[in-house]
Homo-oligomer: A and B are copies of this chain.
Amino acid sequence: MQWLDEIKWDAAGLVPVIAQEKGSNDVLMFAWMNREALALTAERGQAVYFSRSRHKLWHKGEESGHFQVVHEIRLDCDNDVVLLQVTQQGHEPGIACHTGRHSCFFSRLENGGWTPVEPVLKDPGSIYK
């Protein structure tokens, strides 16, 4: 598929991906995709990432039930970063982070230290059985 060929995959065959919540525009998380993951994401309309630690495809929500419905796929001016507009499913408000928080970006730099500034919405122990 030509639109996949136009992406500048890095040396590992990956592209960085930002997931942004439709509506709030909150940045929920950042992950990576390989060619297969992005093709599946477009095909299914659900986010499929590539886990660099587990070295395999990672259908977001496969364990937690917190799937991401993908409304829009965007590419940046250098063709090397992807931005998804998603709806985070499985909880209200949406939980994208494995810590049970809305967004993975919950630590803020304050007075020379990282401070968690977003609440845990659900105990991670009850998300991942």
Residues of A within 8 A of B (CB): 1-3, 6, 16, 18, 20, 24-27, 29-30, 42, 72-78, 81, 83, 97-99, 101, 104-109, 112-114
Q: Which residues in B have their C-beta under 8 angstroms from that of A25?
A: 20, 24-27
Complex Cα–Cα for A27 and B82 (A): 11
Q: A18 CA to B81 CA in the complex, in Å?
A: 10
Q: How far is the CA of A104 from the CA of B78 in the complex (A)?
A: 8
Q: Are A3 and B113 in contact (CB under 8 A)?
A: yes
Complex: chain B residue closest to A30, CB-CB: B81
Q: Are A72 and B114 in contact (CB under 8 A)?
A: no
7 new A-B contacts, CB < 8 A, other than A72-B109, A75-B109, A77-B104, are A3-B112, A18-B18, A30-B76, A73-B109, A76-B105, A78-B104, A83-B105
**Can you report 16 residue pairs joining A to B where beta carbons are below 8 Å apart?**
A6-B114, A16-B30, A18-B18, A18-B27, A20-B25, A25-B25, A29-B76, A74-B105, A74-B108, A75-B105, A75-B114, A76-B104, A77-B97, A77-B98, A77-B107, A78-B104
Distance in Å: Cβ of A22 to nearest Cβ of chain B? 11
